[in-house]
Chains A and B, each alone.
Chain A
Amino acid sequence: MSQTDLSKSIEIITKTEELADKILVNKQELTVMDKRRQQNREALRLIEKSEEPKVWITIGSMLVKMKRERAVELLKKDQEQINQQINVIYSDQKILVNKHRDVEFKSPFSGTNLKALDRAEFDALKANLPML
């Protein structure tokens, strides 16, 4: 193998590994985000149920006592942000996976760029096409 071939192979392998690593990091990130989402949801639920006018919540490492409504508002905002971030990771992941397939000389997954069909529409199809 000539020098250029060698360096080219190394370049391709590094690129593949780099992308694969990014994908795995993203996956880990998704888990972490979901964990946070679930915890947030639990907290929201508990606070909404409690009857105390003021509740304790942590902000970073600080423990703060604040009005219930304010706390709920804060948590809801948090939840929204987390959901947004998860969406960003999902779409990022799709691009990364197709890039990874590209460096491995595979054709990209078809149809990933499609918008999902409406629930009702899909259910109708599914009810009639048992193989779906």
Chain B
Amino acid sequence: MGETEKIEVRDITRIERIGAHSHIRGLGLDDVLEARAVSQGMVGQKDARRAAGVVVQMVREGKIAGRCILLAGEPSTGKTAIAVGMAQALGTETPFTSMSGSEIYSLEMSKTEALSQALRKSIGVRIKEETEIIEGEVVEIQIERPATGTGQKVGKVTLKTTEMETNYDLGNKIIECFMKEKIQAGDVITIDKASGKVNKLGRSFTRARDYDATGAQTRFVQCPEGELQKRKEVVHTVTLHEIDVINSRTHGFLALFSGDTGEIKQEVRDQINNKVLEWREEGKAEINPGVLFIDEVHMLDIECFSYLNRALESDMAPVVVMATNRGITRIRGTNYRSPHGIPIDLLDRMIIIRTVPYTEKEVKEILKIRCEEEDCIMHPDALTILTRIATDTSLRYAIQLITTANLVCRRRKATEVNTEDVKKVYSLFLDENRSSKILKEYQDDYMFSEISEHEEEAAAVAGGGAKRRLDTGDGDAQAMEH
């Protein structure tokens, strides 16, 4: 196996949380951070995009670690889209963690633990690995064995590259390695200078005709070029969370894959912080603060907010981007009302970016982009109707109709979605407005309709569920957009 080939810059896996934003490739800004009307999947929202662009620039320069940005705006005005765009614009170098506010409510972990894991996932540590390897094709190999069968073996190997050739005397230990890997003339190998590990990359092309039949796993490679003794430097980015997990002894690294990391002790974290800071002092590591994006941030409660307040003061804090669609509402876990459902003291630390509702033209543009993304060819008339639907109901509903209309269109073996298809799916699938209208109309025919609203409230108060009632009562109609 070519292990050296596997050691490449590992890119941080970027999980697309919502397929609805798969068409976004960046923020769509030009060199001077001016927003282009339609670019990289982004449409409109010029001011918000420019603001996000400035934030991205500052993150790149490492200037605003430990600060907070709030994306505030009505539902479906592109808050998550801007966050996804920021992630794309930051590139694979900078860690970007995306989570939803309600992800922290888990039975396995306390809320603050979930938050601090998310925070530490967003901080990268850049470290460098340096190895000296000898890489070449084996021209000849001689191993002398003592007649008794045991005892010291000595040997000699001739290695070559396209430019040069040289002999190495082999000691006992490295001969063992050679024998274990079954190295023979014609193999291309690497020897790690520090550890003496021998690795077989494959057989040289020039020796391809040595045998008539070869095993299926034989790999043929070119004879290496240039110098024999090479220096390889690989820069890795690991997140603080990964280092945490492998150092919390109770779980071990397997927890990284199962995702079941459990709670990590604060002492472990402190130790790791110290070690990383030590590395940084010695010039061995760079801290690369990334971005933590918390969607639906109004779902966090007062405890989380005060924890965040504190966590942002730490010298290893990422940039936290939050998004909310709430106006003045209750802070979860209290009876106080506050703008965006976020305590004033935290709000004070934030830079607030506002998103504005899309105009009809922009909606059309977005629908067009979504059509392209979903490989759906749509007749201009159908697109106009869809735009109309989007402005009357919601953009999300219209986007749903693209996929469904496309399916209907394929059912009748056509390639282009026409107005009929859109009309059909419009009648097949209700939007939120029509659905609630029907509910109101036929309320009496549904189950449990005999309980009037007044009675329900009384029952809820009696059952101690008053809090829940208030919660749902507070939100606007689109509170349950996910």
Question: Could you list which residues of chain A lie within 8 angstroms of chain B, going by C-beta atoms?
Answer: 27, 30-31, 33-35, 37-39, 41-42, 45, 90, 109-117, 119, 122, 125, 128-132
Chain B 271-288 near chain A by CB (<8 Å), digits 1 or 0: 000000001001111101
Interface hit among B163-171, B441-449, B464-472: B163-171
**B362 beta carbon closer than 8 Å to chain A:** no
**B242 beta carbon closer than 8 Å to chain A:** yes
* Given A30-B227, A110-B126: A35 and B163 interface contact (C-beta under 8 Å): yes
Assembly CA distance A111 to B242 (angstroms): 19
Min Cβ gap B350→A in Å is 29
List the B side residues contacting A111 at CB < 8 Å.
126-128, 235, 286
Assembly CA distance A27 to B166 (angstroms): 19
Min Cβ gap A28→B in Å is 9
Tally of contacts, chain A with chain B, CB under 8 A: 88
The residue that B164 contacts in the complex, of A38, A109, A122, A128, with Cβ under 8 A, is: A38
- CB<8 Å pairs between A and B, sample of 11: A30-B226, A31-B163, A31-B164, A34-B226, A41-B166, A110-B93, A111-B235, A114-B285, A116-B128, A117-B285, A132-B238
Task: Determine if B126 and A114 form an interchain contact, defined as CB atoms under 8 angstroms apart.
Answer: yes
- From A118, which residue of chain B is reached at the shortest CB distance? B284
* Given A117-B127, A129-B238: A45 and B284 interface contact (C-beta under 8 Å): no
Chain B 252-286 near chain A by CB (<8 Å), digits 1 or 0: 11001000000000000000000000010011111
Question: Could you list which residues of chain B lie within 8 angstroms of chain A, going by C-beta atoms?
Answer: 7, 10, 93, 126-130, 163-164, 166-167, 169, 194-195, 226-229, 231, 233, 235-236, 238, 242-243, 246, 252-253, 256, 279, 282-286, 288
Assembly CA distance A37 to B190 (angstroms): 18
Task: Determine if A42 and B166 form an interchain contact, defined as CB atoms under 8 angstroms apart.
Answer: yes
Assembly CA distance A129 to B195 (angstroms): 19
Task: Determine if A116 and B166 form an interchain contact, defined as CB atoms under 8 angstroms apart.
Answer: no
Task: Determine if A38 and B228 form an interchain contact, defined as CB atoms under 8 angstroms apart.
Answer: yes
The residue that B169 contacts in the complex, of A45, A90, A109, A128, with Cβ under 8 A, is: A45
* Given A31-B163, A129-B253: A116 and B227 interface contact (C-beta under 8 Å): no
List the B side residues contacting A90 at CB < 8 Å.
231
The residue that B235 contacts in the complex, of A27, A114, A122, with Cβ under 8 A, is: A114
* Given A111-B128, A114-B285, A115-B284: A132 and B236 interface contact (C-beta under 8 Å): yes
Task: Determine if B283 and A110 form an interchain contact, defined as CB atoms under 8 angstroms apart.
Answer: no
List the B side residues contacting A129 at CB < 8 Å.
238, 242, 246, 253, 256
- From B252, which residue of chain A is reached at the shortest CB distance? A128
Min Cβ gap A122→B in Å is 5
* Given A38-B166, A110-B93, A115-B283: A31 and B231 interface contact (C-beta under 8 Å): no
* Given A112-B233, A119-B194, A131-B10: A31 and B226 interface contact (C-beta under 8 Å): yes
List the B side residues contacting A130 at CB < 8 Å.
253
Task: Determine if B167 and A116 form an interchain contact, defined as CB atoms under 8 angstroms apart.
Answer: no
Q: Does more than half of chain A's interface fall in helix, strand or loop, or is it mixed? A: helix
Task: Determine if B10 and A114 form an interchain contact, defined as CB atoms under 8 angstroms apart.
Answer: no
Other A-B contacts than A30-B227, A116-B233, A129-B246, 19 sampled, CB-CB below 8 A, are: A30-B226, A34-B164, A38-B164, A38-B166, A38-B229, A111-B126, A111-B235, A113-B283, A114-B235, A114-B284, A114-B285, A114-B286, A117-B279, A119-B194, A125-B127, A128-B252, A128-B253, A131-B10, A132-B236
* Given A110-B126, A117-B279, A125-B238: A132 and B7 interface contact (C-beta under 8 Å): yes
Assembly CA distance A66 to B233 (angstroms): 41
Min Cβ gap B144→A in Å is 15
List the B side residues contacting A115 at CB < 8 Å.
128, 282-284
- From B128, which residue of chain A is reached at the shortest CB distance? A114
List the A side residues contacting B283 at CB < 8 Å.
113-115
- From A123, which residue of chain B is reached at the shortest CB distance? B195
List the B side residues contacting A37 at CB < 8 Å.
229
List the A side residues contacting B129 at CB < 8 Å.
116-117, 122, 132
* Given A30-B226, A38-B228, A117-B127: A112 and B235 interface contact (C-beta under 8 Å): yes
Task: Determine if A27 and B226 form an interchain contact, defined as CB atoms under 8 angstroms apart.
Answer: yes
List the B side residues contacting A38 at CB < 8 Å.
164, 166, 228-229
Task: Determine if A42 and B167 form an interchain contact, defined as CB atoms under 8 angstroms apart.
Answer: yes
Task: Determine if B228 and A110 form an interchain contact, defined as CB atoms under 8 angstroms apart.
Answer: no
Assembly CA distance A34 to B195 (angstroms): 20
Assembly CA distance A116 to B282 (angstroms): 10
List the B side residues contacting A110 at CB < 8 Å.
93, 126, 235, 286, 288
Assembly CA distance A65 to B309 (angstroms): 78
List the A side residues contacting B288 at CB < 8 Å.
110
Assembly CA distance A130 to B254 (angstroms): 10
List the A side residues contacting B279 at CB < 8 Å.
117
List the A side residues contacting B167 at CB < 8 Å.
42
Assembly CA distance A34 to B229 (angstroms): 7
List the B side residues contacting A119 at CB < 8 Å.
194-195
List the B side residues contacting A112 at CB < 8 Å.
128, 233, 235
Task: Determine if A39 and B166 form an interchain contact, defined as CB atoms under 8 angstroms apart.
Answer: yes
Assembly CA distance A110 to B125 (angstroms): 12
Task: Determine if A114 and B229 form an interchain contact, defined as CB atoms under 8 angstroms apart.
Answer: no
